[in-house]
Amino acid sequence: MAVAVNENTNRAYVANRNNRSVTVIDGKTRAMVATVTTGAGPEAIAVNPVTNRVYTANSGGSSVSVIDGATNTVIATVRTGSNCNNLAVNPATNKIYVTNNSGHSVTVIDGETNAATTIRVGQGPRGIAVNPATNKIYTANYGSKDSTQIDGADNAATSIPTGRHP
């Protein structure tokens, strides 16, 4: 359902939603390197190439699995809001942003400590993207006809009208 690549290690990571796992693929040989067991329903996946960490949004378990890319093992599980379904990484700040569709929020995870905080956004956030150059994060809020811009410096959230079902 989702795939991410670490261009520094030439590894691809494929989320296997129904198998509670991530398949690790060597980009050069196209061989499967490992299968890593995650939480329930990994629906989205992202990589921080700077820290060689891989993150899965486990929608069935309201959690994020943190995978060490060097050892292909889960090193932490972080609780999120309800129905987490997407995530994005800011490699410049080592922060991970997770949409909580049912909770109308974004969980912010500190990549160094795995401490989590929650930010209120519009209804049903489904999409999320990070601009590392400006430290701004954007959500697409399906249920409230808007997007939310989050300032990564202070987590201040601003609603931006977009139209129906962004």
Residue 24 lies in a domain: yes
Residue 118 lies in a domain: yes
Asked if residue 52 has pLDDT above 90, the reply is yes
Number of domains in the chain: 1
Query: Environment class of residue 35 by beta-carbon count within 10 Å: exposed (0-12), middle (13-18) or buried (19+)?
Result: middle
Q: Quote the pTM value.
A: 0.97
pLDDT at site 92: 98
Q: Give the integer Cα–Cα distance in Å for 68 and 165.
A: 35
Question: What's the token pair of residue 157?
Answer: 């959230």
Identify the domain containing residue 69 by its residue range. Answer: 2-161
Residue 85 lies in a domain: yes
Residue 166 lies in a domain: no
Instruction: Please write the tens of the pLDDT for every residue from 86-106.
Output: 999 999 999 999 999 999 999
- Write the CATH number for 23: 2.130.10.10
